[in-house]
Amino acid sequence: MEPELESLGELPMIGTGDERGVTLVETMVAMLITSILLVAFYGFFFAFSDDVGRQERWARTLEATRPVMAELVLRLRQAVDVDGDGAIVDRLDSSWQDLELVFFSDRFDAEGPERFRYHLEGCADGRCDLVVSITTADPGSGPDWTYTSVAHTRTLLENVVADGSPPLFVGVTTGPSGSSTITSCGGATPCDFERLRIVLRVDSDPLRAQSPIVELFEEVRFRNAQ
């Protein structure tokens, strides 16, 4: 007799277990999720790095601006009236196009007081260099000192904001009706105010839009005013 054949339905099935490989679709989905996470991480990282860089640039600008303001305040407090008109400041023009502040201060070991002139140079896109020109008095020309020697010029700060914001220099005087400001004087119009308001604004990074602005404010009362 021929041996009985086993029923095919009872044969073990090959390859029908629970173990499966990773499909192409699953691989693409995993890669997409990983890419999204990486983009988010790098976006956060670069934003954080940029913010740190902005704060560092602002801090460096503040560190450079403070001594300039301190030196200007000291010179103004020691300024003297050289022509006897009762005004400490000799000339003031608060307009950004022709900004000028002129006064005299006897701080150096030289005959007669020195003439200090603050002005702007190299302006571009609302940013300028703040410059001081110092001229020593002509020897033997006192008491009516003359100033014909070559001025020593030095750039104090770069990227001073000059785009229509509050004036860098403005005179302040107090009368019966309160305080008033003077923006232009000199020559036939004495600068007869007792205080000078200074608002020094410096762009910490002019190459970047909306960069942090360093702003220092002082209102100096003249010690030697008559």
What is the tens place of the pLDDT at every residue in 156-214?
999 999 987 899 999 999 888 888 999 999 988 889 899 999 999 999 988 877 788 99
Minimum mean pLDDT range among 34-48, 61-75, 89-103, 207-221? 34-48
Structural tokens at position 184: 């232009």
Name the phi and psi angles at 172, rounded to 5. Answer: -130, 130
Q: Tokens 């041996």 sit at which residue?
A: 3
Whether 102 and 90 have beta carbons less than 8 Å apart is answered as yes
What is the band of 141 on the pLDDT scale with cuts at 50, 70, 90? confident
Q: What percent of the chain has pLDDT over 90?
A: 51
Minimum mean pLDDT range among 52-56, 98-102, 148-152? 52-56
Indicate the pTM of the whole model. Answer: 0.76
